[in-house]
A = this chain, B = another copy of it.
Amino acid sequence: MTLALDAAAQDLLFREARTANTFTDEPVTDEQVQAIYDLVKFGPTAMNAQPLRVVLVRTPEARERLVNLMSDGNKEKTASAPLVAILAVDNEFHEELPTQFPHFPGAKDMLSDRAGREPMAAMNAALQAGYFIIGVRAAGLAAGPMAGYDAAGIDKEFFGDGEHTVLAVVNIGKPGENAWFPRGPRLAYDEVVTTV
**Are B138 and A130 in contact, CB atoms less than 8 angstroms apart?**
no
Asked if A126 lies at the interface with its beta carbon under 8 angstroms from chain B, I say yes
Which residues 175-196 of A sit at the B interface, judged by CB distance below 8 A? 181, 183-187, 189, 192-196
Q: 1/0 per position for A158-171, CB-CB distance to B under 8 A?
A: 10000000011000
Which residues 30-48 of A sit at the B interface, judged by CB distance below 8 A? 30-44, 46-48
Asked if A140 lies at the interface with its beta carbon under 8 angstroms from chain B, I say yes
**Are B184 and A3 in contact, CB atoms less than 8 angstroms apart?**
no
Q: Which of B62, B101, B126, B158 is in CB contact (< 8 Å) with A123?
A: B126
**Are A43 and B133 in contact, CB atoms less than 8 angstroms apart?**
yes
Asked if A122 lies at the interface with its beta carbon under 8 angstroms from chain B, I say yes
**How far, in angstroms, from A184 to B40 measured CA to CA in the complex?**
14
Given known contacts A39-B15, A54-B193, A185-B99, A4 and B126 CB-to-CB distance under 8 angstroms: no
Asked if A134 lies at the interface with its beta carbon under 8 angstroms from chain B, I say yes
Asked if A19 lies at the interface with its beta carbon under 8 angstroms from chain B, I say yes
Give, as a whole number of angstroms, the nearest-CB distance from A188 to chain B. 9
Question: Can you list 16 A-B contacts with CB-CB less than 8 angstroms, sorted by A residue number?
Answer: A2-B32, A3-B36, A3-B39, A3-B140, A15-B39, A19-B44, A34-B193, A41-B186, A42-B186, A48-B185, A54-B194, A56-B196, A57-B196, A100-B186, A101-B184, A127-B133
The 5 closest A-B pairs by CB, nearest first: A130-B130, A4-B140, A126-B126, A5-B138, A2-B35
